[in-house]
Protein backbone atom coordinates (compact mmCIF):
# COMPACT_ATOMS: atom_id res chain seq x y z
CA UNK A 1 0.00 0.00 0.00
CA UNK A 2 1.21 3.50 -0.80
CA UNK A 3 2.47 5.47 2.19
CA UNK A 4 3.54 9.06 2.63
CA UNK A 5 6.61 10.19 4.49
CA UNK A 6 8.46 13.40 5.16
CA UNK A 7 11.92 14.12 3.80
CA UNK A 8 13.89 17.14 4.95
CA UNK A 9 17.12 18.41 3.42
CA UNK A 10 18.83 19.83 6.52
CA UNK A 11 20.75 23.13 6.65
CA UNK A 12 24.06 21.43 5.82
CA UNK A 13 22.50 19.99 2.65
CA UNK A 14 20.90 23.25 1.57
CA UNK A 15 24.11 25.20 2.24
CA UNK A 16 25.95 22.79 -0.05
CA UNK A 17 23.29 23.08 -2.79
CA UNK A 18 22.29 19.41 -2.65
CA UNK A 19 18.48 19.69 -2.63
CA UNK A 20 17.88 19.20 -6.37
CA UNK A 21 20.36 16.31 -6.51
CA UNK A 22 18.66 14.61 -3.54
CA UNK A 23 15.15 15.12 -4.91
CA UNK A 24 16.23 13.61 -8.26
CA UNK A 25 17.62 10.55 -6.45
CA UNK A 26 14.38 10.21 -4.50
CA UNK A 27 12.33 10.28 -7.71
CA UNK A 28 14.72 7.86 -9.43
CA UNK A 29 14.17 5.46 -6.50
CA UNK A 30 10.44 5.38 -7.29
CA UNK A 31 9.06 8.03 -4.95
CA UNK A 32 6.52 10.58 -6.09
CA UNK A 33 7.15 14.05 -4.68
CA UNK A 34 3.71 15.44 -3.84
CA UNK A 35 4.65 18.78 -2.30
CA UNK A 36 7.87 20.68 -1.56
CA UNK A 37 8.64 23.80 0.38
CA UNK A 38 11.69 25.74 1.48
CA UNK A 39 11.59 27.31 4.93
CA UNK A 40 13.56 28.20 8.01
CA UNK A 41 12.51 26.30 11.10
CA UNK A 42 11.56 28.48 14.04
CA UNK A 43 12.76 27.34 17.46
CA UNK A 44 9.18 26.32 18.32
CA UNK A 45 8.69 24.28 15.16
CA UNK A 46 12.12 22.64 15.51
CA UNK A 47 11.37 21.69 19.12
CA UNK A 48 8.07 20.13 18.06
CA UNK A 49 9.70 18.27 15.17
CA UNK A 50 12.44 16.81 17.37
CA UNK A 51 10.41 16.56 20.62
CA UNK A 52 11.34 12.88 20.95
CA UNK A 53 14.93 14.00 21.69
CA UNK A 54 14.05 16.63 24.31
CA UNK A 55 16.14 16.15 27.44
CA UNK A 56 18.96 14.35 25.61
CA UNK A 57 22.46 15.82 25.76
CA UNK A 58 22.43 16.74 22.07
CA UNK A 59 18.97 18.38 22.02
CA UNK A 60 20.05 22.04 22.35
CA UNK A 61 22.91 21.74 19.84
CA UNK A 62 20.46 19.97 17.48
CA UNK A 63 18.04 22.90 17.81
CA UNK A 64 20.85 25.35 16.99
CA UNK A 65 21.84 23.29 13.96
CA UNK A 66 18.39 22.74 12.43
CA UNK A 67 17.51 26.42 12.85
CA UNK A 68 20.86 27.64 11.45
CA UNK A 69 19.63 28.02 7.89
CA UNK A 70 16.93 27.07 5.42
CA UNK A 71 15.70 23.54 4.95
CA UNK A 72 13.83 21.99 2.06
CA UNK A 73 11.00 19.64 2.97
CA UNK A 74 8.93 17.29 0.83
CA UNK A 75 5.97 15.01 1.21
CA UNK A 76 6.80 11.89 -0.76
CA UNK A 77 4.77 8.81 -1.57
CA UNK A 78 5.58 5.25 -2.55
CA UNK A 79 4.75 1.68 -1.67
CA UNK A 80 6.28 1.03 1.77
CA UNK A 81 7.64 4.61 1.74
CA UNK A 82 8.91 4.69 5.33
CA UNK A 83 11.16 1.64 5.00
CA UNK A 84 12.28 2.44 1.46
CA UNK A 85 13.21 6.02 2.36
CA UNK A 86 15.14 4.93 5.45
CA UNK A 87 17.06 2.45 3.25
CA UNK A 88 17.71 5.16 0.64
CA UNK A 89 19.08 7.70 3.12
CA UNK A 90 21.22 5.24 5.12
CA UNK A 91 22.26 5.16 8.79
CA UNK A 92 22.32 8.30 10.94
CA UNK A 93 26.12 8.46 11.06
CA UNK A 94 27.35 9.23 7.55
CA UNK A 95 30.61 7.36 8.24
CA UNK A 96 28.51 4.20 8.73
CA UNK A 97 26.31 4.82 5.68
CA UNK A 98 27.26 2.65 2.72
CA UNK A 99 27.90 3.91 -0.79
CA UNK A 100 24.67 4.17 -2.69
CA UNK A 101 22.83 5.83 0.20
CA UNK A 102 22.22 9.57 0.34
CA UNK A 103 24.11 9.99 3.61
CA UNK A 104 26.95 7.75 2.44
CA UNK A 105 27.40 9.41 -0.93
CA UNK A 106 26.78 13.04 0.05
CA UNK A 107 28.41 13.28 3.45
CA UNK A 108 30.40 16.40 4.16
CA UNK A 109 33.93 16.77 5.40
CA UNK A 110 32.91 15.83 8.91
CA UNK A 111 30.24 13.62 10.43
CA UNK A 112 29.89 15.80 13.49
CA UNK A 113 30.07 19.50 14.16
CA UNK A 114 32.09 20.64 17.16
CA UNK A 115 28.81 20.74 19.09
CA UNK A 116 28.38 16.99 18.66
CA UNK A 117 25.40 17.40 16.35
CA UNK A 118 25.46 15.03 13.43
CA UNK A 119 25.47 16.80 10.08
CA UNK A 120 23.91 14.08 7.97
CA UNK A 121 22.24 16.02 5.13
CA UNK A 122 18.68 14.66 5.51
CA UNK A 123 15.92 13.73 7.92
CA UNK A 124 13.19 11.20 7.14
CA UNK A 125 10.30 9.97 9.24
CA UNK A 126 10.96 6.66 10.99
CA UNK A 127 7.37 5.40 11.41
CA UNK A 128 3.90 5.92 9.97
CA UNK A 129 2.83 7.73 13.15
CA UNK A 130 5.84 10.06 13.04
CA UNK A 131 5.35 10.67 9.32
CA UNK A 132 1.78 11.83 9.93
CA UNK A 133 2.86 14.05 12.82
CA UNK A 134 5.83 15.55 10.94
CA UNK A 135 3.92 16.09 7.67
CA UNK A 136 1.17 17.90 9.56
CA UNK A 137 3.74 20.13 11.31
CA UNK A 138 5.39 21.21 8.07
CA UNK A 139 2.57 21.01 5.49
CA UNK A 140 -0.78 20.77 7.31
CA UNK A 141 -3.39 18.06 7.82
CA UNK A 142 -4.46 17.96 4.17
CA UNK A 143 -1.21 16.18 3.26
CA UNK A 144 -1.69 13.31 5.71
CA UNK A 145 -2.87 10.08 4.13
Helix (H) or strand (E) holding 9: strand 2-9
- Rounded distance between C-alpha atoms, residue 79 and residue 59, angstroms: 32
81, 123, 125, 131: the catalytic one is: 123
Is 123 among the catalytic positions?
yes
Task: Tell me phi and psi for residue 133, to 5 degrees.
Answer: -60, -50
Q: For the chain, what's the residue count?
A: 145
Pairing of strands 32-39, 122-124: unpaired
Active site residues: 123
Amino acid sequence: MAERTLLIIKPDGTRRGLADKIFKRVEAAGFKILKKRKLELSNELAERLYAVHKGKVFFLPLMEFVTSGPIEAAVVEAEDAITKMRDLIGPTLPSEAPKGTIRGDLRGERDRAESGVIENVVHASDSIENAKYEIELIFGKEWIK
